Amino acid sequence: MSQGLIGRKIGMTSVFGEDGKNIPCTVIEAGPCVITQVKTMEVDGYEAVQIAFDDKKEKHTSRPMMGHFQKANTTPKRKLVEFRDWGAESNLGDVLTVDIFNEDRWVDITGITKGKGFQGVVKRHGFGGVGGQTHGQHNRQRHPGSMGASSYPSRVFPGKRLAGRTGGEQVKILNLRILKVIPESNLLLVKGSIPGAKGSYLIIEK
């Protein structure tokens, strides 16, 4: 990871570009984040910067974590993320805002996709399903079909694409263009869609 922020997905909208085209974009509340720990090679065995986002009530925070946040002279936070290869001067307690990003630059964004629960092969893997109802069958449109021979190997091979739980996975989208930065509202407008439901946390990397 390089320098970045933790954010929250607000939703989607669209803006007009300089050429008059309507561009779909995602609105992200990015920061402000606080540096809560600076890890060094001598103490921790690797170099990293831990940042925190989104205030949390003290009564919902454990005592060890309260001490951790007090060292950084900040209030308790909900989301903590480590960034390696930070590449910038950083001190405990520093506040990072959306100002670290510039318009017309590119970012990588990581989020958790929407959970879909148990789904069949058509939705989960994009199977085409069986054809029409002209071949003597009437209730097999969305079934996976044949899974292999019977006498040999007499089993279903591991890794076969079948029905199962879908979504709820960590996904990283590369090279998303920043359309607009609104510092007074801590907002970031990024071209295209981003994984996750409204209100979910995102990791935005330069």
pLDDT tens digits, one per residue of 33-65: 999 999 988 998 988 999 999 898 999 999 999
> What domains does the chain contain, in order, with CATH numbers?
4-118+170-205 (2.40.30.10), 119-166 (no CATH)
Give the type of residue at 191.
Answer: K
pLDDT band at 138 (very low <50, low <70, confident <90, very high): confident
Q: Residue 156: is its pLDDT beyond 80?
A: yes
**pLDDT given for residue 133 in this prediction:** 66
Sheet bearing 95-96, strands edge to edge = 77-84, 48-55, 33-39, 95-96
| Arithmetic mean of pLDDT, 6-25 | 93
Q: Are 1 and 85 in contact (CB under 8 A)?
A: yes
Q: Are 168 and 112 in contact (CB under 8 A)?
A: yes
User: 7 burial class (0-12, 13-18, 19+ CB within 10 angstroms)?
Assistant: buried
pLDDT tens digits, one per residue of 82-94: 998 887 788 888 8
pLDDT band at 1 (very low <50, low <70, confident <90, very high): low
**pLDDT given for residue 132 in this prediction:** 64
